[in-house]
A and B are shown apart, each in its own frame.
Chain A
Amino acid sequence: MKIALIGNQNSGKTTLFNLLTGSNQKIGNWPGVTIERKVGMIRGTNHELVDLPGIYSLSPYTSEEEISRKFVFEEHPDIIINIIDATSIERSLYLTTQLLELDTKVIIALNMTDILEKKGLHIEIDKLRQELDADIIPISALKRTGIKELIERIKTNAVQSNQNQMIFQPEVEKAIATIEQTLNGGHRRFIAIKLLEHDPLFLTLHQPFIDDLANKLELFFATDMEELIASGRYQYITSMKKRTVTHHPPIIDVTDRLDKVFLNKWLALPIFAVIMFLVYYLAVGTVGRFTVEGINSLVSSFGTWVRSGLISLNASAWSASLVSDGIIAGVGAVLNFVPQLIILFLCISILEATGYMSRIAFFLDRIFKRFGLSGKSLIPFIVGTGCSVPGIMATRTIEDPEERRMSIMLTPFIPCSAKLPIIVLFASYFFPKHSGVVSVSLYFLAIIVILFSALVMKKFFFKGKPSPYISELPEYKVPSPRYILRDVGEKTWEFVKKAGTIILLSSVIIWFFLSFSWTFQYGVDVEESILASIGRLFSWVLYPMIGEMSWGATVSAIQGLVAKEQVVSSMAVIAGLSEEVASGSGIFNAQIFSFFTPISAYSYMIFNLFSAPCFGAIAAMRRELGSRKRVWIAVSFQTGLAWVIASLFFGIGTLIGGIFG
């Protein structure tokens, strides 16, 4: 059987999906975490469960909501599990009334029953079951109650369908019945209502007499069909709610109290700045220096140890060099940064789970609106601090296509976790006392770059009207430690896996091009290597921002296309191979990178952070933008802008340095 999981945004669909299938999909406390459908097998059965993006109605507004609606009509699920947030039952049942009009079997999973009491709500479930004439199973996805009953019900397939309750005014019901009689196939009641509402998706089924029916009703009720149907549903729900739900609101609402601080007129922005500062300060400033110095020497002594081991085993010089100078140096350089990334992932995961992220979107909306964006663009940006790819995908929650395109092009400007190694490497060496401040400054620079770019794009490419911003404000939640640990573990593992695959392969390739000359002679000086000669072709590009014709810095920056952390890895391999003795004292002690000054280090960071993202992110942009031309525009724009800002910084920085130095 094929089973669809459908419900409002932020109603706990994915949490339930993970429970039912035993998988570990991303959850979060903001509307619109699930942007693609996800498929899994329900534990102990061979039934397929599909987790769909949250919707409030079967008339969707955004591309990701469209996925849910299409699934229902085109893939004909056998059962729909309609998950409902019991604490906002009135709004949730609006979707339910529509689902119950389909011919599909529907089970209502009444979620969050564990916190009903805390919110002063009481629902008489038996009565509600009777009134709706539908199957209801109370559950708590968080406390894991009611799940067994739900699986049991799916297994036995004892579910009602097609209740066809008459919920509208008699005149409306009569019109629906008239249209129904002319229809063939499934979902007749549902389609009849949609035809009355003039839904664009069912225009092919339209017949002239439907207009007459609609016109008469509109005259009679002095309103239009859309409002008539929507009010009809809500009136039915309110009267049912009066009979089944009692509400005694608690005196102290924790969420309201917290919002008095976090959404305070004067405190909100400073608190936000402090939180973002802390995230980067913790990740880079505190753990940063310790790990770079500590583990760097560990890795290089490990490399030396392996090399001497290999040589004592009579391994050839080139193979010993491949392993220690290529693989261990390259992969090790990236693995150095795992501790920082764990801290970063932990902070972001907590931010996402508590519900603070929706607040950030809420209070920055006004500023973002000025630049043609909305608060909703902020969610891709914050997700993008982990990785641009899910960040770019998170733009699907944005309704307006132009605003969405802009957000897709802007998300890669956010320093993702793979860029963190670059920041930490340079910041901790050149600004040892202020590495935290320096990395935070890059983050704020990213925000300025984003707003500036948005302004430019709005001026030249996109000239749309602002789209509406309608979003739920979720309650604050204490994040579940189990989930946070799993989330952080998974992201960290992804990073390590990447180091063991892409970075490893790239390191081997880099080692090869560094160790051989064009005549395939092994063991040449790196300056005579293939890589050096390739790099020299392009080193003029970076000259204006580092003040040096450096092929090493150039080829490393280009490798950022593979993965941003590859920049660090490449520099480590180049530095290691260029020195006669493996001194173990870091990349910048190598002759080849000794030209870097604090100013050129900062400009080089700027270029690497804001230029074209890695291939993974470019591919995601291609998918979401749907046009190769737009991707070219975006990538050229990003790289061009990065070059200009980096060169400007270097030029001005050197000038000021010259005056005061």
Chain B
Amino acid sequence: MKNKCTLQVGEQGHLSDLHVGQKARVLALHNDSKSLRRHLLDMGITKDVEILVKKKAPLGDPVDIELRGYELCIRLSDMKNIDIEVIPS
């Protein structure tokens, strides 16, 4: 892994900070882009939902995450809009 510091269980950050295999609970969605926010909400990224970072594309971006029993591809830049708290995986 790169020398970016890893978030520990209980710490807060953005979904984009997580490494493959880490799990987090969603705290809030940013309001920068209305349509993106709506889209994320519709795809099930709501407050308190648990998300597992499952795979990364070979070039590091986008990322495949697992939530609500299915998998979703999303870019790191969009994941920055999601505030999370790391939970034990």
Question: CA A263 – CA B58 in complex, angstroms?
Answer: 6
CA distance A259 to B64 in the complex (A): 11
Say whether, besides A91-B44, A263-B58, A468 and B69 are in contact (CB < 8 Å): no
* B1: Cβ under 8 A from any A Cβ: no
Q: 1/0 per position for B42-78, CB-CB distance to A under 8 A?
A: 1110111100001101111110100011111111011
A171 sits at the interface (CB 8 A): no
B47: chain A residues within 8 A (beta carbon): 223, 227, 231
A363 touches B59 (CB 8 A): yes
A-B contact pairs, 7 of them (CB 8 A): A88-B70, A94-B44, A226-B38, A234-B49, A267-B58, A363-B59, A470-B74
| Chain A residue at minimal CB-CB distance from B71 | A473
- A471 lies within 8 A of chain B by Cβ: yes
Known: A61-B39, A473-B72. A231 touches B58 (CB 8 A): no
Total interface residues on B, CB under 8 Å, equals 36
Q: How far is the CA of A269 from the CA of B48 in the complex (A)?
A: 36
Kindly report which residue of chain A lies nearest to residue B66, judged by CB atoms.
A473
Bound CA span A288–B55, Å: 39
| B37, CB-defined interface residue at 8 Å | yes
- Chain A residue contacts of B41, Cβ below 8 A: 226-227, 230-231
Structural contact, A469 and B73, CB atoms closer than 8 A = yes
**Chain A residue total in the interface (Cβ 8 A):** 42
When the two chains form their complex, are residues B43 and A367 in contact, meaning their CB atoms are under 8 A apart?
no
Asked if B36 is at the interface (CB within 8 A of a chain A CB), the reply is yes
Which residues on A sit within 8 Å (CB–CB) of B39? 61, 468, 470
Cα distance, A227 to B30, chains bound together (Å):
11
**A-B CB proximity, top 7 nearest:** A88-B70, A268-B58, A230-B41, A57-B42, A366-B59, A90-B68, A231-B46
Chain A contact residues, majority secondary structure: helix
With CB as the reference atom, state the residue of chain B lying closest to A85. Answer: B70
Least CB distance from B61 to A in Å reads: 5
Partner of A472, one of B38, B42, B73: B73
Q: Which A residues lie within 8 Å of B57 (CB)?
A: 263, 268, 362-363, 365-366
Nearest-CB residue, chain B, relative to A119:
B69
| Residue numbers in B under 8 Å from A585 (CB-CB) | none
Return chain A residues, CB-CB under 8 Å to B71.
Answer: 472-473
Q: Is the CB of B77 within 8 A of A466?
A: yes
Is B24 located at the chain interface by the 8 A CB criterion? no
Per the 8 Å Cβ criterion, residues 340-390 of A in contact with B are 362-363, 365-367, 369, 375
Q: Given the interface contacts A268-B58, A363-B59, A365-B62, does A56 sit within 8 Å of B43 by beta carbon?
A: yes
A470–B40 touching, CB < 8 Å: yes
B29 contacts partner chain A, Cβ-Cβ < 8 Å: yes
Query: Which residues of chain A in 215-237 are interfacial with respect to chain B, using CB atoms and an 8 Å cutoff?
Result: 223-224, 226-227, 230-231, 234
Q: Which residue of B lies closest to A245 (CB)?
A: B69
Contact A90 B73 (CB under 8 A): no
Cα–Cα, bound, A473→B54 (Å): 11
B3 at the interface (CB under 8 A from A): no
Minimum distance in angstroms from A337 CB to a CB of chain B: 35
B62–A469 touching, CB < 8 Å? yes
A470 in complex: contacting residue of B29, B58, B61, B72, CB < 8 Å: B72
Pick from A57, A230, A375 the residue with the most CB of B within 10 Å. A230
Q: A87 vs B66: C-alpha distance in the bound complex, in angstroms?
A: 13
Asked if A629 lies at the interface with its beta carbon under 8 angstroms from chain B, I say no
Q: How far is the CA of A234 from the CA of B40 in the complex (A)?
A: 13
User: How far does the Cβ of B13 sit from chain A's closest Cβ, in whole Å?
Assistant: 20
- The interface bits of chain A over 456-480 (1 if a CB of B lies within 8 angstroms of the residue's CB, else 0) are 0000000000101111110000000
Residue A72 is within 8 A (CB to CB) of chain B in the complex: no
- A472 and B37 CA atoms in complex are apart in Å by 17
Could you tell me if A362 and B73 are in contact, using CB atoms closer than 8 angstroms? yes
CB distance B46 to A470 under 8 Å?
no
> A266 CA to B43 CA in the complex, in Å?
31
Kindly state whether residue A89 has any CB partner on chain B within 8 Å.
yes
Contacts of B40 in A (CB 8 A): 470
Is A246 located at the chain interface by the 8 A CB criterion?
no
> Roughly how many angstroms separate A129 CA and B78 CA in the complex, as a whole number?
37
* Docked pose: A470 CA to B74 CA in angstroms: 5
Q: A472-B71, A473-B72 are in contact. Are A363 and B43 (CB under 8 A)?
A: no
A319 neighbours in B (Cβ, 8 Å):
none
Contact between B78 and A470 (Cβ–Cβ < 8 Å)?
yes
Most buried by B among A88, A234, A267: A234
Which of chain A's residues has its CB closest to B37's CB? A226
Complex: how many Å from CA A469 to CA B72? Answer: 10
* Nearest CB in chain A to that of B76: its residue: A366
Complex Cα–Cα for A94 and B39 (A): 13
Contacts of A268 in B (CB 8 A): 57-58
In the complex the two chains form, is A472's CB within 8 Å of B44's CB? no
Q: Which residue of A lies closest to B59 (CB)?
A: A366
- What is the bound-complex CA distance between A256 and B54, given in angstroms? 9
